[in-house]
Amino acid sequence: MNKLAVLTSGGDAPGMNAAVRAAVRAGIYYNYEVYGVKRGFEGLINGDLEKLNASSVADIIHKGGTFLKTARSQAFMTPEGRKKAVDMLTSMDIRAVIVIGGDGSFRGAEALSREGIQTIGIPATIDNDLAYTDFTIGFDTAVNTVLQAVTNIRDTSSSHEKTTIIEVMGRNCGDLALYAGAAGGAESIIVPEKPFTIKEIGEKIRRGRSRGKLHHILMLAEGAGSAVDIQRKLESETGEKSRITVLGFIQRGGDPTASDRLLASRMGLKAVEACKNGTDSSLIGIRNNDLTITKIDEALSYKKRDDGELTRLTEILST
């Protein structure tokens, strides 16, 4: 019987459990013996693997986090660490690994594939920062989590007639700020992909005030600058006090949305089918709602481009 291992790696994302469930059940459907690896690549190095059956992944499709646990493995980045991992897989006669994670995890996946292990990646990160795919698992849930926070903050921001800077995660990608900001009607959105000036934001705040607008929600992607620094400059530009809310790790947890559960389930099945078909090591993605399979090095060479539509929408609609 062929053997397959599945692991989750890097920052967790809602929907990882649904992806593991799909990979395990699809693997069993296609007659694989499926192993769950604990704590990502660390588990491969330490031999922390357990055989899973259909019941091992019961009752997890709706849960945030990852029951396999996750880690950012430094050891796997070294040749010695990788050798240990490959030796472990070879000794157990496991020839295929499904890696569920983001950019860093896929660099690990690429390294593993260079050692002759068939490696298929499933994108799961709240950052949505992988250019080869339209969406990553966990992004939709995180957008909704941020949106709920924006809605709550808008109430108090209006009552107190204050500008509030809401800092969101995303690393060097502004998608989380952009999507949640556009959906939440934020007045300003600052993302790393687009230059901004304090003067133009100050101007927007003043224009709003002159129309009797009570609040100003400024969404700030963490990769675009320091909230404290922007607050200081904005206060000196407008002469008004403002507040900062850093949403932090609440963005990484929570029950996955229907959209993330479906995406994870579709990608999990597709990943197993790629293993079964003997596909070269690749990453599963989604473009225009169709699943895609792209060789790892090619997928990682894509540059993310923002067509500017949501930024333009915010500029026109959030006056």
Active-site positions?
127
Q: What is the DSSP letter of 219?
A: E
Amino acid identity of residue 158, one-letter, is S
Is there binding between residue 27 and ligand F6P (CB under 6 A)?
no
CB nearer ligand F6P, residue 96 or residue 224:
224
Choose the stretch contacting ligand F6P; rule: CB under 6 A; options: 30-38, 153-161, 164-172, 306-314.
Answer: 164-172
Q: Measured from the CB of residue 249, what is the shortest distance to ligand F6P in angstroms?
A: 7
Is there binding between residue 69 and ligand F6P (CB under 6 A)?
no
Interface with ligand F6P in residues 220-259 (CB under 6 A): 222, 252
Q: From the list 118, 125, 133, 238, which residue makes contact with ligand F6P (rule: CB under 6 A)?
A: 125
39 annotated among ligand-binding-site residues: no
CB nearer ligand F6P, residue 42 or residue 127:
127
CB nearer ligand F6P, residue 125 or residue 145:
125
Which residues does residue 118 pair with via DSSP β-bridges, in sequence order? 96
- Take residue 10 and report the two structure tokens written for it: 């890097």
- Integer CA distances (angstroms), 280 to 121, 291, 297, in order: 11, 16, 11
Q: Measured from the CB of residue 126, what is the shortest distance to ligand F6P in angstroms?
A: 6
103 annotated among ligand-binding-site residues: yes
Amino acid identity of residue 1, one-letter, is M
CB nearer ligand F6P, residue 172 or residue 279:
172
Is there binding between residue 169 and ligand F6P (CB under 6 A)?
yes
CA distance 259 to 198: 36
Is there binding between residue 170 and ligand F6P (CB under 6 A)?
yes
CA distance 3 to 5: 7
The H-assigned helical ranges of the chain are 16-29, 41-46, 79-91, 103-114, 139-159, 175-184, 198-210, 227-238, 258-276, 296-301, 309-317
Count Cβ neighbours within 10 Å for each residue of 192-215 and write b for 16 or more, e otherwise. Answer: bbeeeebeebbebbeebeeeeeeb
Amino acid identity of residue 68, one-letter, is L
73 annotated among ligand-binding-site residues: yes
Is there binding between residue 126 and ligand F6P (CB under 6 A)?
yes
**Nearest by Cα to 16 from 39, 50, 32, 43:** 39
CA distance 120 to 197: 42
Q: From the list 127, 167, 175, 260, which residue makes contact with ligand F6P (rule: CB under 6 A)?
A: 127
126 annotated among ligand-binding-site residues: yes
Q: Which residues are annotated as a binding site?
A: 11, 21-25, 72-73, 102-105, 125-127, 154, 169-171, 185-187, 211, 213-215, 222, 243
Annotated binding site for Mg(2+): 103
Binding-site positions for ATP read: 11, 72-73, 102-105
Please give the residue ranges that form the binding site for ligand F6P (CB under 6 A).
11, 102, 125-127, 169-171, 222, 252
